[in-house]
Chains A and B, each alone.
Chain A
Amino acid sequence: MTVAAPALLLAISAFAAFALRKRVAGVAAFGLAAIVIAFTLVAITPVDTVARLIDLDLRVSDLGRLAGLILLATIAMLIVDVRVDAPAYNFFPSALATGAVVLAVLVVSSPVVVFALLVAGLLVPVGTFTFQVHRNRSVEAAVRHFSFVVLGGSLGLGALALAARLPKDQPATTVVLLVVLLFIAVALMLAAIPFHTHAALLAGEAPATALALYFGVLVPVTFIAFAGILASSGLLPEIVQVSKVQDLLLAIGLTSAIGGALLAVGANDLRRLVVYAVISNLGSALVGIATLSGPGIIGGIATALVTGACATQQLLAAGALERRAGDDRPNVTHAPLAAGMFIAGGIAMIGAPPLVTFPGHFFVDLIAYAISGFAGTALVAAAIVLLIAQLRAGVRLFAGSPEGWRIEPRPVAGILGGIILAALLVGGIVPDAFLRPIAAFADEFLKALRPL
């Protein structure tokens, strides 16, 4: 039960928070307390603890614990930001339910159950996407998100259910078709290009904190779960024999990396820039997984995890800047600390040293070059375009004289951004603590690739 306890605690807390959601101050404190307890439980549960719930095997892995702690900390920061800076009563139950799904996905071993939990988790923020529905297109954006997630989720679940009952020695085309379906399903759920239109609409219409819950927490966990599903579904040995399948994943990754970076450079607002940067980074991470190599898998998962943290940092800052700017274009004078953290998040997003975002990008770029010169060049080009996009946003944000810069009242986004930056810096100085659990997962992945 200790393995399932944190997820069950958050699930029960989500129901309680839903019942009490109109009491914003109380439910925020309650939600934060539940997250802290779940965080402690995850931290003290030893790695490789196993349990059986109903007829389901549960296991705490190195990566599961690391990702659980990072994502719970991210949710805690979002709760604090919403409580202090942008009260929205429907956010707290959604955040707790998301936390429950994240922890469950990271300990469950059955691919079909993991995928079902993921789809349910990706639908939870629908309640937070709709905001001031008469004044914007947030309902349309939420309906589109709902459709993309259920479409991808159902196709992926169908493919996994069919794959689970396949006896050995099936024709290669059957396996290829199932894997292609699974890849398309995950691309739909991750908003990879060309399945990104719902993310583009969401970026413009949904509140920044809801976007952070999706792109900072749920998208990274979807990526990690995808890697875990590949390893546990038994499809990997078949995939490695058919190079076209590997090429498809590589193509989806490269298209997202380059396309996301190009869209980011053309983005006319801060939130769109962040969302496209996330899509670009996840494309790079997919390339890492597609190489089916140790450094590629480590780099891919590291990139996905830290991209979530950077996205949270930038989206919270963008939200604070927009709220204080009102109808004007957001500028450093509106919230200097938030503007500074937006820039810091941008630097982290492109994978600059000495932050912990660097090793992931470095590993993926290096192994992409080893696999194909074109893939490596494309990833470096995407990183340069992303750098230009972030610089362009920075120049716009910091245009004008510094005389009017005054630390904003209630600088919660700036402070939370500072905490994330400090964590990224510490991780960059001591990368072993961050990369070792991911390396343990990469080891399991490679064993599943070539079973003895």
Chain B
Amino acid sequence: MIYLGLIALATLLANGVTRLRFIAVAFLAIAGVAGLISAGVAPSQDVALTAAAGLAAAGILFVAARDGTYGEDPGWRLWLGTFTAAIVTPLAYASFRTISGEPTALPLLQDGSGVVVEVAGTWLLSSGVAIMLTARSAVRASLGALVMVTGVQLLARLAPEARLATTLALAWLEVVVALAGAFLIVNERAVRDA
């Protein structure tokens, strides 16, 4: 429960800040909380690998900003994104959760059943979709993309097969998404500054 609150706050923070460098730091917070959530259901080397990818992605965005002024003001889109995620998450969780016939416990910290992982993953996926659909430039498009990939990383934690290979592939994907996003941010800025 506490982790779900933390991930919601971190997402709101990343969604609300206007400067790219702050967005990078807020994304690091999202990746950190996602790492804490997955620590309960995944081996430590998998969690460390994903955390390293999150750190690299945040670092790439931070460097791409080049100075502290560049960014994108979300304005009313912040609330549209947040409310969309808040509505979609319970709907998606109710539609896709696995049917075991047993009541699902929602623990305060430990998450042996994977329910917190599933809810947090769905929250990040729907938040990322909302951020991306309302983005006006490569800055928030990159944030939305990274938030979605982090959500996918959480959901993939529960898949039974090829766990290390899946973790590795998704970690690489996160870095590639950050690099492509940074490349677009730099080019978009060059066009705007011209």
| One of A54, A123, A139 near B176 (C-beta < 8 A) | A123
Interface Cβ pair total, 8 Å cutoff: 140
Query: Which secondary structure dominates chain A's binding surface?
Result: helix
Q: A110-118, A395-403, A439-447: which lies at the B interface? A: A110-118
Contact (Cβ within 8 A) B166 A126? no
Contact (Cβ within 8 A) B132 A142? no
Q: B4-12, B30-38, B78-86, B121-129: which lies at the A interface? A: B121-129
Query: B156 — which chain A residues lie within 8 A by C-beta?
Result: 112, 157, 161
- A100 to chain B: closest CB distance in Å? 11
Contact with B along A171-192 (1 / 0, CB 8 A): 1011001100000000000000
Task: Please measure, in the bound complex, the distance between the C-alpha atom of A192 and the C-alpha atom of B88, giving whole angstroms.
Answer: 25
Given that A146-B184, A158-B121 are contacting pairs, would A165 and B152 also be in contact in the complex, using a CB cutoff of 8 Å? no
How extensive is the interface on chain A, given as a class? Answer: 35 or more
Residue from B129, B141, B173, B188 having most chain A Cβ neighbours under 10 A? B173
Residues of B within 8 Å of A, CB-based: how many?
Answer: 48
Query: Which secondary structure dominates chain B's binding surface?
Result: helix
Query: A169 — which chain B residues lie within 8 A by C-beta?
Result: 99
B109 at the A interface (CB under 8 A) = no
A127 at the B interface (CB under 8 A) = yes
Task: Please measure, in the bound complex, the distance between the C-alpha atom of A56 and the C-alpha atom of B162, giving whole angstroms.
Answer: 6
Given that A143-B138, A146-B181, A151-B132 are contacting pairs, would A178 and B96 also be in contact in the complex, using a CB cutoff of 8 Å? yes
| One of A53, A110, A117 near B161 (C-beta < 8 A) | A110
- B151 to chain A: closest CB distance in Å? 7
Task: Please measure, in the bound complex, the distance between the C-alpha atom of A375 and the C-alpha atom of B190, giving whole angstroms.
Answer: 48
Contact (Cβ within 8 A) A142 B168? no
A120 at the B interface (CB under 8 A) = yes
Contact (Cβ within 8 A) A143 B96? no
- B14 to chain A: closest CB distance in Å? 16
- A179 to chain B: closest CB distance in Å? 12
A150 at the B interface (CB under 8 A) = yes
Name the residue on B nearest A126 (C-beta).
Answer: B180
- A206 to chain B: closest CB distance in Å? 13
Query: B152 — which chain A residues lie within 8 A by C-beta?
Result: 154, 157-158, 161
Name the residue on B nearest A139 (C-beta).
Answer: B187
Name the residue on A nearest B162 (C-beta).
Answer: A110
- B9 to chain A: closest CB distance in Å? 22
- B150 to chain A: closest CB distance in Å? 10
A328 at the B interface (CB under 8 A) = no
Kindly identify, within residues 116 to 132 of chain A, every residue whose CB is under 8 Å from any CB belonging to chain B: 116-117, 119-120, 123-124, 126-127, 130
A-B contact pairs, 25 of them (CB 8 A): A55-B163, A56-B162, A113-B169, A116-B173, A119-B173, A120-B173, A123-B176, A130-B183, A134-B191, A134-B194, A139-B187, A150-B149, A154-B151, A157-B155, A158-B121, A161-B159, A165-B158, A166-B98, A167-B100, A170-B99, A173-B95, A174-B95, A174-B96, A177-B96, A178-B96
